[in-house]
Chain A
Amino acid sequence: MISPIDRRTVLKWGGGMLGASALMPRLAFGQQTSINYWHTFTSQSEFAGLEAVMAQFASAHPDINVIQENIPNPEFMAKITAAVVGGGRPDVTMVASERFADLRAMGALVDLTDRIASWERRGDFEDARFASITSEDGAVYGVPAFAFVDWMYYRKDWFDEAGLSAPTTLDEMLVAAQTLTDPAKGRYGFGMRGGAGGQAFVVNLMEAFGSPVLSNGEIGLDRDRAIEAVRWYAGLLTEHGVVPPSAPNDGFRQIMEAFQTGQTAMVWHHTGSFRDISGFLEPGVEFATAPIPAGPAARVARLGYAYNAMSSDANADAAWEWIKFWGEPDAAVALLEATGYFPASTVAAQDERISGNPLYAPAAETLGFGLPQPSFPGFAGWSESVVLPAFQRVLIGDATPEQAVDEMIDGLAAAVG
């Protein structure tokens, strides 16, 4: 690891310059400060939301120039690892809650505890919103920018036609899926995400069947419950055939396209897809939203947060302005209107534009019972490189649920051992 300029040097120089600047007339600081912002926004609506926030920020802070850089989700960890190891960190980066443990462990983030404690809008947020960006020793590393509230989109028109209502349990969901599946018409009950990113739902279902991967600080799986969960979930394809046969390779784009083009009747995702789906199907008529159905042991819907965190303290003051700006209600509502991403700020969530829309009610309901993602170093890697392939093997008939769960248990031991 060769870094010609280490943190200490940067701090020394930065501190020196700050000291010097105090002596200089304010005029010298008339120029713009540029900060780099890494984010994982990809869709058009997400970009529209980002641009809206940036435009608001630019008029509020003309002296700070935000240079946004889109890092595709699958490459994000590789890029930021390389930046940490080899140099070239961004000033501010978006941090999904499930990545926090790894990023903090590798030293990718700057401690923001003091700045957040003295932030004038800290009171707008419930304490729980910060849980996924707080280390076990109590240090806080970021500000929630918006929430990912897991819920379900379903074809209201099809459900009405079949005389069904939105399922509240997994059993009801299976029945609905069976009713609405008609392979001859190319229509399937549920759009399973069995490809990239699908690991989260496998973990969620195991918890819904009574096998949380992290409970009371203990890491582990209940083998029998986990097997039951994998059998039920994989069974949607292998036993009941209520999901498209392409499920083992379907990622975000595929499940969304399938739903938008009328090939699936239900799909699980978070509120952030609301705008995109509305572009294809009429909200409230062709599609509606519902909370994630409950499993035999628990109702598991995740409340995730995208945080903005500081990765480099080279322009710490400017970076902090940008980070906290996302907590402004106007910025949060602008993002919601462009994308559907829910505000993390309670003040913003009470805005009339949100509370007045019945389609957002399931999200508000989920905020009541939703759970944060499990978070411990190694979790993200394990779920992506062990849980997902093991589950795929069940989908393609290459392994039994028992074998897959054993693989997950061994992999978990290796990941945290």
Chain B
Amino acid sequence: MSTLTLRGVRKSFGLLEVLHNVDLELEDGGFLVLLGPSGCGKSTLLSIIAGLEPASGGDVLIGERVVNDVHPKDRNIAMVFQSYALYPTMTVERNMGFGLEMRGVPTAERDGKVLDAARLLQVEHLLARKPGQLSGGQRQRVAMGRAIVRDPELFLFDEPLSNLDAKLRVEMRTEIKRLHDRLGTTVVYVTHDQVEAMTLGTRVAVMREGVIQQLADPQTIYDRPANMFVAGFIGSPAMNFISGVLEAGPGGPAFVYEAGRLRLSLPEPAMPRGVAMGRPVILGTRPEHLTLGSGSAARLSGTIDVVEPTGPDTMVVAMIGGQPVTARLPPRVALRPGEPVELAVDTSALNFFDPESGERL
């Protein structure tokens, strides 16, 4: 177990820079999720941490040790791949013990460790098989077992669940969480799945185009996204964005939208600090912070476009100020497309963004 520190890590392929000055710190026993769309550089960053690819600049520290020039095998890490990367010609047992075998660990000790890991992951009945004879979930367990056997300082997971079907993915997610709680090893986990990020991570780094957009605990990322990209990437359905202007009106400050024809009164605490009145902003509100009702002072008015019942909730898309806004409403609401609707806004959970930079205000 160990901490992980990245200082100014850069990576470029020729003229194309895929990682820009990544700084990052992960506490001992932490679970860092690198989250982002494909091509954001998260897998490259993981490869750099693993030592499978050299960085173009910056330092990687595992514990106190700078490992820039240390071979992967000497970094004391273990990695689980999306493809599992089990050696197809070896049995499960040899696969799991391979890292120890290469390090010259005596057979008896190796067998003991492999058996322990196999028990932990409930694959001891598969030890004599070849990977080709296993199901996807079993391969995933073996791949994790192979990582565990080594008892590394750092676990690296590269989209480990994306080859599994939906049901198995949820199961294995829980399994990984349980494993982490139990072993307490520091983990870096790459995924493009926000649910995995939210459920597993103690820290989440949302990345885009080689830059970490926000590095925080999952709840902060969800509640107070650092910019519109993070806000839009996390949460399903995505956060609603409405363009408008902040104005100080007769009845207190308000968010005025749809070319000034509609206004949303805001209580003082909901106002972003240090923002001048009269400036254009983008208001962000999550679907669950909208409710049906005309009672509240903070209301958005519009027309119903689509009604999507999902079972526990009903998603209602309304056109407000010419922009679609989704609300997560209780089931069985009696709404029809084309009807006018009033949505009350929970003003304690509003986000404001700069329309130019997309940064949070």
Q: Do any beta carbons of A and B sit within 8 angstroms of each other in the complex?
A: no
